[in-house]
Amino acid sequence: MKKIKAVMVGQPNVGKSSIINAISNARLHVGNFAGVTVEKKEVEITKNEYELDIVDLPGIYSLHAYTPEEHVTKKYLLQEEYDVIINVVDANVLQRNLIFTLQLLDMQKKMILVVNMIDEVEEKGGSIDAQKLSELLGIPVILTSAKQKRGVEEIPDKLIEIYESTRCDCKIYYNEKIEEEIEKLSTILLKSPHIQDSKIARFYTIRLLEKDEDVYKIIHDLPIFLELHEALGESMKRLELEFDIDDVRDLFAQERNALAKSIVMQVMQLPRKESLTDKIDKILIHPIFGLPIFLFFMWALFQLTFEIGSIPMDYIDQTVSNFADWLKGILPPGDLNSVITDGVIPAVGAIIMFLPNILILFLGINLLEQTGYMSRAAFLLDGFLKKFGLQGKAFIPLVSGFGCTVPAYMAARTLKNPKDRLITMLILGFMNCSARLPVYVLFIAAFFPTHSAGNVLFAIYILGAILGLIVAKILRIVLFKGEPEPFVMEMPPYRFPSLKALAMELWIKTKLFIKKAGTFIAGTAMIIWFLSSYPVDQKLIHIYEQKIEFAKSEQEKTKLQNELAAKSLENSYLGQFGKAIEPIFAPLGFDWRMSVATISGLAAKEVVVSTLATLYAVGEADENNSTFIQKLRENIDFKAAIALIIIIMIYSPCVAAMSTFYAEVPQWAWRTFYTIYPNVLAWIMAFLAYNILSVAGF
């Protein structure tokens, strides 16, 4: 059986995922590309005597890569082995999409052009001549509608057909003067024994004229580099003088634009009537009503996230507790039993409990993306965010940050400009994620009247977001001087979301979340369990066991057991650590217990609640436990409680989020800055709040 390897490429939002889902019929394999956390979808299907392996590469606008996803796609296209390129374009914006197609044609590899969403063009009275388009580009063209599953079944057949064909008429010809320079430079390149293929020499030459650093690195070590480098500089000067331009890249952009426009004029009959998208846009991006409508959508999404998401939390919590109790009963008593049932399962359960909230948020964000509204929202907020040194697209990761900071850091990849992306990532920790909610609920219940609890919670979330914007402005003024990148974002037509694609995306994100949260939390839980369980004070245990044995009531027994747990914890490595760091937090009114709880929150914010419950000897407790609340009131004053809320609101997010940041930002200088500055800022803000409240008489 012959094997054919194909790669599917295209700009974002052209419907690649829908097409590959339609082809795969649930035979989709999902993972990450080697060494990077960028999603990789792959499908293997059998057709006649062929085994087809299709890899869906991340969306890319051009071979000038900016985002991590674009770099992955470009690297794959340039360096990996494959037989055919399946290039997917959006029929609604054919001219713009064809510019990337023309860049791909420079590679002179076997390629199929899939013109998706043709149904939307036809509904508006337009049409595309596929035969003519195929003749002009020199490659097979298929008109498809993934939504209607129209034309999709032709892709495997066409894939086999072009694989078996011996010739490719897909060469693009530029202006005569440009071709002359390409020819001169290609001749020099072919002198190298490492480059014997004239097609590769031509492609490298074009990329070098476009100042492609990745290709430059490939050529740099070749023996003909010095000759080529000198000739390249001369060619660029000649072209700049000939066409009166400052940069040869602009020349190629103009050439491809003109070519794409010419092709579309020959093959496409444009829609005649005002589209539904135009009518909807008159309302949704209205200069006056657009922003209030967007805020309503966001308010509704957060209401659904927290109201509906909280319903299954108790059931999940109870199920995890029952499972831990059951396992405790069947495992032999000892350290293994304790680390699994007291450490790993409760800690992993605390994360899984928030899965419904996160799924609802992901679903809402996916819906906004698939319908095409997300880019409109970015357009609406661009002016407001720009005042704080942020770009309009930054709102997407900022919104995601209210659910979980881990996907928010990954969502920042949509920002092309490295400075804009870094500023956004540096303030994402100020968007209060759902993991901080249990801490807020606990302290609000303990230190504020019930009738004002909702307002206090709302104020905490708003203040976090405002602080983030202020810090962004300061970072822009001090460290990232200059204006944010001008807002340019494609406005795709509105579409009814594909339920299958929604379900698939949700399933993929769920698997990744559970895998990451589960593996990380399980590891962290084991470390915390060890630090809080050792060294074991046998003498103390013996004394308390005797006291418990002679206790007169169950209430007294429970009290003694809690005292034993608290003293054991105080003597543990974790307790010793808390005593050691107590001087750092003493100016904020924290005792060693609050210091330990604060540090434990770096692993996961929910751990703060369970750590405080153990340290204050109330046994197993949650944020609604009245005994726990009473203990907090007896041991923590109002000023220290406010200081702790401020610390939780500002300091570093959990280790999982920090690990994601480190993975996304390779520079150690920024990693160090990111690790230090929010913690210093949190301490200063908490110190100010504590002392202002002291002066005010609290």
pLDDT (0 to 100) of residue 427: 93
User: What's the Cα-to-Cα distance from 685 to each of 34, 465, 498, 502, rounded to whole Å?
Assistant: 42, 15, 47, 42
CA torsion angle 516 517 523 525 (round to 10): 180
Q: What is the pTM of this model?
A: 0.58
Rg (CA), the chain: 30
pLDDT (0 to 100) of residue 521: 61
Q: State how far the Cα of 400 lies from the Cα of 125, in Å rounded to an integer.
A: 38
pLDDT (0 to 100) of residue 28: 60
Q: Where are the alpha helices (DSSP H) in 192-247?
A: 198-209, 213-220, 225-243
pLDDT (0 to 100) of residue 516: 58
Q: Are strands 39-47 and 50-56 parallel, antiparallel or unpaired?
A: antiparallel
459: CB partners within 8 A, 6+ apart: none
Q: State how far the Cα of 695 lies from the Cα of 67, in Å rounded to an integer.
A: 50
In this structure, the chain runs to a length of: 698
Element (H, E) at 611: helix 607-615
User: What's the Cα-to-Cα distance from 269 to each of 124, 127, 257, 260, 612, rounded to whole Å?
Assistant: 10, 5, 18, 15, 68
Given a cut of 50, the residues of the chain with pLDDT beneath it are 619, 621, 623
On average, the pLDDT of the chain sits at 82
Sheet strands side by side (includes 28-32)? 28-32, 39-47, 50-56, 2-10, 84-90, 111-116, 141-143
Do residues 41 and 17 make contact, with C-beta atoms less than 8 angstroms apart? yes
Q: State how far the Cα of 104 lies from the Cα of 86, in Å rounded to an integer.
A: 10
686: CB partners within 8 A, 6+ apart: 588, 642, 643, 644, 646, 647, 650
Q: State how far the Cα of 401 lies from the Cα of 424, in Å rounded to an integer.
A: 11
User: What number of CA atoms fall less than 13 Å from residue 102's CA on the CB side?
Assistant: 25
Burial group, residue 660, by CB count within 10 angstroms (0-12, 13-18, 19+): buried
pLDDT (0 to 100) of residue 335: 78
Do residues 14 and 7 make contact, with C-beta atoms less than 8 angstroms apart? no
Output the DSSP codes for 351-391: HHTTHHHHHHHHHHHHHHHHHTHHHHHHHHHHHHHHTTT--
User: What b/e readout covers 450-484, taking b as 16+ CB neighbours within 10 angstroms?
Assistant: eeeeeeebeebbebbbebbbebbbebbeeebeeeb
Tally: H helices and E strands in the chain: 33, 9
Do residues 588 and 549 make contact, with C-beta atoms less than 8 angstroms apart? no
Do residues 446 and 641 make contact, with C-beta atoms less than 8 angstroms apart? yes
| Lookup result for tokens 């999709």 | 152
Do residues 306 and 357 make contact, with C-beta atoms less than 8 angstroms apart? yes
Do residues 688 and 696 make contact, with C-beta atoms less than 8 angstroms apart? no
Residue-wise pLDDT tens digits, 455-465: 788 888 889 98
**Residue 221 phi, psi dihedral angles, 5° rounding:** -90, 0
Nearest 5 degrees, angle CA 302-CA 602-CA 345?
Answer: 80
SS3 percent helix, strand, coil of the chain, rounded to 5, is 65, 5, 25
The two tokens of residue 183 are 């020819």
The two tokens of residue 143 are 């008109």
| Lookup result for tokens 């599917």 | 8
Residue 230, classed as helix, strand or coil, is helix
Q: State how far the Cα of 678 lies from the Cα of 657, in Å rounded to an integer.
A: 14
Q: State how far the Cα of 347 lies from the Cα of 340, in Å rounded to an integer.
A: 10
pLDDT (0 to 100) of residue 684: 95
pLDDT (0 to 100) of residue 351: 60
Do residues 58 and 92 make contact, with C-beta atoms less than 8 angstroms apart? no
pLDDT (0 to 100) of residue 520: 61
End-to-end Cα distance, the chain: 80
Residue 329, classed as helix, strand or coil, is helix
418: CB partners within 8 A, 6+ apart: 66
pLDDT (0 to 100) of residue 445: 82
CA torsion angle 171 176 180 181 (round to 10): -90
Closest CA to 685 of 636, 651, 655, 637: 651
Output the DSSP codes for 430-488: GS--GGGHHHHHHHHHHHS-GGGHHHHHHHHHHHHHHHHHHHHHHHHHHTS-SPPPP--
Helix orientation angle between 437-447 and 626-635, rounded to the nearest 10 degrees: 70
| Contacts by residues 105-109 (CB-CB < 8 Å, ≥ 24 positions apart) | 105/137, 105/138, 105/139, 105/170, 105/171, 105/172, 106/172, 106/202, 106/203, 106/206, 106/207, 107/77, 107/199, 107/203, 108/168, 108/170, 108/171, 108/199, 108/202, 108/203, 109/84, 109/85, 109/168, 109/170
pLDDT (0 to 100) of residue 248: 86
Residue-wise pLDDT tens digits, 558-577: 788 878 877 887 888 888 88
